[in-house]
Structure 1
Amino acid sequence: MLPVHLDGSPGALETLKRAIARALGGGPAVLPFTDPALRDAMAPDEPAEPETAVVIATSGSTGAPKGVLLSARALTASAEATHARLGGPGHWLLATPAHYIGGLQVLVRSLLAGTEPAVLTGTGFRPDDFAAAAATLTGGGPRYTALVPTQLVRLLDDGGAGLAAAKTFDAIVLGAAATTPAVRERAADAGVRIVPAYGMSETASGCVYDGFPLDGVRVELADGRIRIAGDVLAHGYRGRPDLTAEAFGDGWFTTSDRGIRHDDGRLEVLGRADDMINTGGVKVSANAIERVLCAQPGVRDACVVGLPDPEWGEAVVALVVPAGEPGDLRAAVRAELGPASAPKRIEFGTELPLRGPGKIDRAAVKTRLQSGFSG
């Protein structure tokens, strides 16, 4: 296995691009990383599992390291299906870290399209840097990028050169976290063409675009749990046959997410299967409460968790990022979802802690709320 340390330098990214090209052609499996401890957990000196082209190392939602095994077939199937859905091969801007699947797939798509990706440089995400990177995209054909919702919100809030650059893209794929109805509306009003995507490392990035599976991808629900099949699937976890057997079987990958299918076939993701909070003997959905909160005027973002409580067993508690003066948020939740879902406590902060590219770190939210975090 070939570990590639992405230290932020252009040389490291070039090394990764060359390594991916070789891996897609049958060369050594590639392990992109930034955290040496996570690299070591992947046992890079041991041979890679058969058919592995890339190992995506992740700490996972529980903090336990996992290495997702992706074949050249899965990576290629995902990239080709993405281009087919968006409007054909094009020029990509890499704006998310390449050691995560969303960023890595930008490199794969560019390789298959025969185009050179533009790269967002610098630390953090600044709208002016995004505009400068977008300006380096050359050549004819469609222009694409992949962002997380937090990045898009920053572009919309800035309203300057970054937003102007965002409008020049034929499609901005949004992944890693859910795109709220409010963000969808803001993007449409601003003239930014977004494509919310659902997927994960185990599906070689987004495999359901705006509610509908990509070509070659099948989706079903088993007891409300989302299951996915198709060539885009990983073939297991690095050194964890137990986890592989638990999640993969008969050509299907069983996710940790709940969903519903609408009459038109559109998939709606309702949140993780473990986001249910048992409060006073009533099970309520943290994700549903977050959706109501985020739909209220004066709310930019929200995370809801259950905290141990001597009276209720678990108390519904929310961390809210305001965007103005929120109204009576408890009343809004109570009116739409019932009294059991109304948060017992609401704290306000300037931002939600994130894990990886735009995913809310719920463990960190719990820690803050348990310690009485208030801003």
Structure 2
Amino acid sequence: MARHLTLVRAPQDPLDLLPAVHAALDGRAPLAVLPAGPPAAEAAARAVLRPEQPLEDGADLVVVTSGSTGSGRGVLLPAGALRASGEATLARLGGPGSWLLTLPVSAVAGLQVLCRSLLAGTAPTVLARGEPLAGALARMPGGRRYTALVPTQLRRFLDAEPTALRAFDGVLVGGAATDPALLARARAAGVAVVTTYGMTETAGGCVYDGEPLDGVRVRTGGGGIELAGPVLALGYRLDPDGTATAFEGGWFRTRDAGTLDPAGRLTVHGRLDDVVVTGGVNVAPQAVEGALREHPDVADAVVFGRPDDEWGQRVVAAIVPASGADPDLAVLRPWVAERLGAPAAPRELHRIPAVPTLHTGKPDRRRVSAALSQEAH
């Protein structure tokens, strides 16, 4: 008998979603969560999910990706992958505990907080909009306490509430590259931060602090990262060609570059399709962003490439200046060059009020690039 998806809008109170997530984890009712926000976002998700079409065999949760490199896709996750991911995470962190939800439940990172809570038999706590971290922490039960953040949140909480951050037994950070300087600062402050690498296709983070979770395998053939193990998705919703391209022989081909050291520890170098090739040199935007954020006059930054007649591509930086600061290229180019080499130094600089993000918390480079292109015209 054909199964069909149940589509649920992300509720105002994410805890209202727990019964539906529980049913999906048990394989009783396949689920997809529509993103909260403008009607266009929901319409785009519905176009990907096409609930009128029967659901592929074995799928229990369908998550629409953020579309950071183009149109979003519906990722088909079986309950077994969600359980394997959640159980391996709890084992790596030191056992069951209560979770603080700070991320949208339309993305896999937020959904996994609900899944891990259900697997642990604990009640999650939701960080309310504008609520201090300490306030949410005070509402959490005793015992081990965990949360999951994107790097922007880690930076904000580290600036404003380091004491509250230190109270967590594990702070997972993922969804985007985390600056080494930010990690060092968090660890120096006594925060139990754990970097996570993974994606919707791996039921969320599956490599913690460079080491794969139990059952997960990693290889880097040709410089591209490939992942395997019980956390893998089945493929993409109504996209057999895309599934065949990305999933083969039990492995998932990511779009990320990385290397493994002799001990099998993974270092991620950035997205293969984000690399800016300038003067024949590959420049990773994430590395440039990290260097810029280290400058005292830069609060945040997003970096991308634009066509250039002389260099092929030029490195473009859009920065959020620190309060009262107004840095220019004459200051920032040598700062980046000293840390990453001259080719990585931006050749074009823009000032923006804030770095826009996708609903997953990742910086939306496409949106910034498109907005600045429109301004130029």
TM over 0.5: yes
Tell me, what secondary structure is at the counterpart of 1:141? Answer: coil
Q: Is the 1:67–1:237 Cα contact (8 Å) retained in structure 2? A: yes
Q: Which residue does the alignment assign to 1:131?
A: 134
Q: Which residue does the alignment assign to 1:320?
A: 319
Which stretch of structure 1 is more off in the superposition, 263-272 or 212-221? Answer: 263-272
Cα separation, 2, equivalents of 1:209 and 1:105: 15
| CA shift for structure 1 position 137 | 1.1
Q: Is the 2:356–2:367 Cα contact (8 Å) retained in structure 1? A: yes
Q: Is the 1:127–1:154 Cα contact (8 Å) retained in structure 2? A: no
Q: 1:282/1:114 Cα in 2 relative to 1: closer, same or farther (>3 Å)?
A: closer
| CA shift for structure 1 position 110 | 0.7
Matches within 5 A, 1:137-152: 137-138=140-141, 140-152=142-154
Q: Is the 1:127–1:155 Cα contact (8 Å) retained in structure 2? A: no
> What code does the residue aligned with 1:137 have?
M
* Residues 1:60 and 2:67 are matched in the alignment: yes
| CA shift for structure 1 position 372 | 5.3
Tell me, what secondary structure is at the counterpart of 1:102? Answer: helix
> What code does the residue aligned with 2:109 have?
G
Q: Which residue does the alignment assign to 1:365?
A: 368
Cα separation, 2, equivalents of 1:131 and 1:210: 26
| CA shift for structure 1 position 59 | 4.2
Q: 1:337/1:184 Cα in 2 relative to 1: closer, same or farther (>3 Å)?
A: closer
| CA shift for structure 1 position 243 | 0.6
Q: Could you list the per-position Cα deviations for residues 9-56 of structure 1 after superposition, in whole angstroms to 9, with x for gaps in the alignment?
A: x3x642x21112122222121011124311243011222111111000
TM-score, structure 2 length as denominator? Answer: 0.90
Which stretch of structure 1 is more off in the superposition, 148-157 or 289-298? Answer: 289-298
> What code does the residue aligned with 1:42 have?
L
Cα separation, 2, equivalents of 1:278 and 1:112: 45
Which stretch of structure 1 is more off in the superposition, 257-266 or 140-149? Answer: 257-266
Tell me, what secondary structure is at the counterpart of 1:328? Answer: helix
Percent identity of equivalent pairs: 49
Q: Could you list the per-position Cα deviations for residues 192-243 of structure 1 after superposition, in whole angstroms to 9, with x for gaps in the alignment?
A: 2111111110010110111111111111101110000000000100000111
| CA shift for structure 1 position 68 | 0.5
Q: Which residue does the alignment assign to 1:21?
A: 22
| CA shift for structure 1 position 121 | 2.5
| CA shift for structure 1 position 346 | 2.0
Q: 1:21/1:368 Cα in 2 relative to 1: closer, same or farther (>3 Å)?
A: same
Q: Could you list the per-position Cα deviations for residues 65-115 of structure 1 after superposition, in whole angstroms to 9, with x for gaps in the alignment?
A: 310010011000000000010000111111111111001001111111111
Q: Which residue does the alignment assign to 1:36?
A: 42
Q: Which residue does the alignment assign to 1:4?
A: 8
> What code does the residue aligned with 1:5 have?
R
Q: Which residue does the alignment assign to 1:51?
A: 58
CA RMSD of aligned residues (A): 2.0
* Residues 1:239 and 2:242 are matched in the alignment: no
| CA shift for structure 1 position 304 | 1.7
Return 5+ residue gaps in structure 1 as ranges. Answer: none
Tell me, what secondary structure is at the counterpart of 1:65? Answer: coil
> What code does the residue aligned with 2:63 have?
I
Q: Is the 2:66–2:360 Cα contact (8 Å) retained in structure 1? A: no
Cα separation, 2, equivalents of 1:180 and 1:263: 24
Cα separation, 1, equivalents of 2:97 and 2:341: 47
Q: Which residue does the alignment assign to 1:98?
A: 105
Cα separation, 2, equivalents of 1:349 and 1:290: 14
Q: Is the 1:227–1:255 Cα contact (8 Å) retained in structure 2? A: yes
TM-score, structure 1 length as denominator? Answer: 0.90
> What code does the residue aligned with 1:142 have?
R
Matches within 5 A, 1:152-163: 152-159=154-161, 163=162
| CA shift for structure 1 position 348 | 2.7
Q: 1:172/1:270 Cα in 2 relative to 1: closer, same or farther (>3 Å)?
A: same
Cα separation, 1, equivalents of 2:91 and 2:52: 37
| CA shift for structure 1 position 281 | 4.1
Matches within 5 A, 1:59-78: 59-78=66-85
Return 5+ residue gaps in structure 2 as ranges. Answer: 36-40
